[in-house]
Amino acid sequence: MTAAAILEVNSLPLSRGKRTLAKAITFAVPGGSYLELQGPNGSGKTSLLRALAYPPALLDPHVRRLDAADVFYFGQSSGFRPELGVSAQLALSLALYGAPADARRDRSLLERFGLARHLAHRIRQLSQGQVRRLMLAVMAASGRTLWLIDEPLNALDRDAIALFESVLAEHVSRGGAAVIATHRPIHLALPALAVYCCGILCLGSPSPQLQPAPVQDRPTSLPPPQAARIERDGWHQLLWVLRRERLLALARPQDLAWPSVFHWMVVTLFPFGLGSDPELLERAAGGVFWISALLAVLIGATRFFEADFEHGALNDCQTAGLSLTWLVTGKIIAGGLLIGLPLALSSMPLALLFGVPNHLLPILGGSLWLGVMSLVAGSCLFAALGLMARQAQVVICLLAIPVFVPVLIFGTAVLNGDITGPLLTLSSLALLSLVTVPIVTAKVLALALE
């Protein structure tokens, strides 16, 4: 029976912070069955599921998965962004798990899960139960072999519970496996599933006991299913991130304007402080534009990952096997295009108010765009830090500003006569940060997700 074990856990210690929840957890889940996880609040059910869901590189050596990358985590947060359309989010989520794109399958999935009427709606318009149904739909079509499910029956009505039952039964009868954490014993709530149960693990004591399955004459374990999955290299992961950023930007196009509007306002404040002397303003233009752009980026970008973190999308990306480094790279490129380009373009007419000569306008715009690329990259790093210390925007700015000094210096130098050298330096800074920042930021994000 252990020959086809999809998940094997061998004396895994479990702790939350410094508190030890269990000394050694041991169990195995063969293909074609599920394990039920029970225990009171705080006994570590979710912690255990999270520990099982880590990407291969972070996985505890006591945990062995048949195909290390092949899990689906069905958690408390949906991983959906409220501003996206239902069908767009479904296609995006399925693409994240490597399922090939198929519009007809998406439509029939939505029909099966009772969401066909909401095809044109946005996630934010769905009720909590409907969001859970959509999560079920993603899980059913994800093609992943090992499902880690946290409290599946929450917020589901009777029809949806029946749906869950049928989805899970299909999955295990095809040879898949699942670990289900629940307060309501699944084998009692859904008797039809009891035959697939391979055991019940009760957490809450230092050495959790594995209890035998309620039904003993189970069908023999099955070979794991072979799902049609697209293996994705870094390039495809990057494309997925960019596609998602594009959809998010299209869902709320007005958000693209705010950094530029802020930039305009700050820039127009300066003459009130400096006086309207045209000569002084022309001389100050470089500094004014760069400081204002820096503030605009910093204010916007310190919340770069917040929505994705709170809705669980970052977590989903991690368990789905999307490299966080590519995720950050995509975010920086998108930020450079979606924040940087409007900022740079809107600065050009604005510079006329400061008496910047015409032939310098494209150079100002171009250098601002290059500079904003590095500023966005730098802010990404601090935004990742901000996920762990949400009350600390001021401190993050304190940390970020010394880092931004070189960009500011070379940026303003462009307007002060010397053009080629600073422009080259700005481009190399942008390239350097595009290559190095994602690696460091991915590390910080992984810490935030622990």
Partner 1 sequence: MQSNFFVRLSSPPVFFNASGKVLPWLVTGSLILGAIGLWSALFVTPTDAQQGEVYRVLYVHVPTAWMSMLLYVVASFYAALHLVFRTSVSAVMMRAMLPTGAWMTALALVTGSLWGKPTWGTYWIWDARLTFELLLLFIYLGLIAVASLIEDERKTDQLLGVFTLVGLVNIPLIYFSVVFWNTLHQGASLSMSGGSKMAPIMKITLFVCVFAMWLGCAALAMARARWQLLERERESAWAGSVLA
| Position 101 contacts partner 1 (CB under 8 A) | no
Q: Give the number of other CB atoms < 10 A from CB of residue 299.
A: 15
Q: How far is the CB of 426 from partner 1 (least distance, A)?
A: 11
Element (H, E) at 178: strand 177-181
Question: Which two structure tokens, joined as six digits, stand for 331?
Answer: 């975010």
Cα(417)–Cα(407) distance, integer angstroms: 17
Phi, psi of 264 (to 5 degrees): -55, -45
Residue closer to partner 1 by CB (options 262, 410) is 410
Total residues contacting partner 1 (rule CB under 8 A)?
Answer: 24
16 and 44 Cβ atoms separated by less than 8 Å: yes
Residue closer to partner 1 by CB (options 101, 389) is 389
Q: How far is the CB of 271 from partner 1 (least distance, A)?
A: 22
Q: What is the DSSP letter of 99?
A: P
Question: Which two structure tokens, joined as six digits, stand for 390?
Answer: 């949400």
CA atoms 58, 180, 74, 224: torsion sign: positive
Element (H, E) at 127: none
Applying CB under 8 A, which of residues 3, 17, 104, 272 lies at the interface with partner 1?
17
Q: How far is the CB of 25 from partner 1 (least distance, A)?
A: 21
Cα(377)–Cα(436) distance, integer angstroms: 9
Residue closer to partner 1 by CB (options 37, 291) is 291
Q: Closest Cα to residue 246, out of 445, 442, 104, 84?
A: 84
Binding mask 365-404 for partner 1 (x = CB under 8 A): ----------------x---x--xx--x--x--xx-xxx-
Q: How far is the CB of 356 from partner 1 (least distance, A)?
A: 18
| Position 24 contacts partner 1 (CB under 8 A) | no
Element (H, E) at 333: helix 324-335
Applying CB under 8 A, which of residues 413, 414, 415, 445 lies at the interface with partner 1?
413
Q: How far is the CB of 379 from partner 1 (least distance, A)?
A: 13
Q: How far is the CB of 390 from partner 1 (least distance, A)?
A: 10
346 and 264 Cβ atoms separated by less than 8 Å: yes
Q: How far is the CB of 415 from partner 1 (least distance, A)?
A: 11
Angstrom CA distances, 209 to 23, 61, 178, 205, 223, stand at 12, 21, 18, 8, 27
| Strand, helix or coil for residue 19 | strand
Q: Which amino acid is at 35?
A: L
Applying CB under 8 A, which of residues 1, 58, 269, 405 lies at the interface with partner 1?
405
Applying CB under 8 A, which of residues 231, 233, 279, 450 lies at the interface with partner 1?
450
| Position 295 contacts partner 1 (CB under 8 A) | no
Question: Which two structure tokens, joined as six digits, stand for 134?
Answer: 């959509």
DSSP3 helix / strand / coil % (the chain, rounded to 5)? 60, 15, 30
Phi, psi of 73 (to 5 degrees): -110, 120
Residue closer to partner 1 by CB (options 110, 327) is 327
Token pair 């008797």: residue: 191
| Position 61 contacts partner 1 (CB under 8 A) | no
Binding mask 424-443 for partner 1 (x = CB under 8 A): ----------------x--x
Residue closer to partner 1 by CB (options 17, 61) is 17
Binding mask 203-242 for partner 1 (x = CB under 8 A): ----------------------------------------
| Position 127 contacts partner 1 (CB under 8 A) | no
| Strand, helix or coil for residue 417 | coil
402 and 346 Cβ atoms separated by less than 8 Å: no
Q: How far is the CB of 450 from partner 1 (least distance, A)?
A: 7
Q: How far is the CB of 435 from partner 1 (least distance, A)?
A: 13
Q: How far is the CB of 444 from partner 1 (least distance, A)?
A: 6
Cα(299)–Cα(304) distance, integer angstroms: 10
Applying CB under 8 A, which of residues 257, 416, 424, 435 lies at the interface with partner 1?
416
User: Which one of the spans 109-117, 144-152, 302-310, 412-420 is the region binding partner 1 (CB under 8 A)?
Assistant: 412-420
| Position 249 contacts partner 1 (CB under 8 A) | no
Q: Please give the residue ranges that form the binding site for partner 1 (CB under 8 A).
A: 17, 381, 385, 388-389, 392, 395, 398-399, 401-403, 405-406, 409-410, 413, 416, 418, 440, 443-444, 447, 450
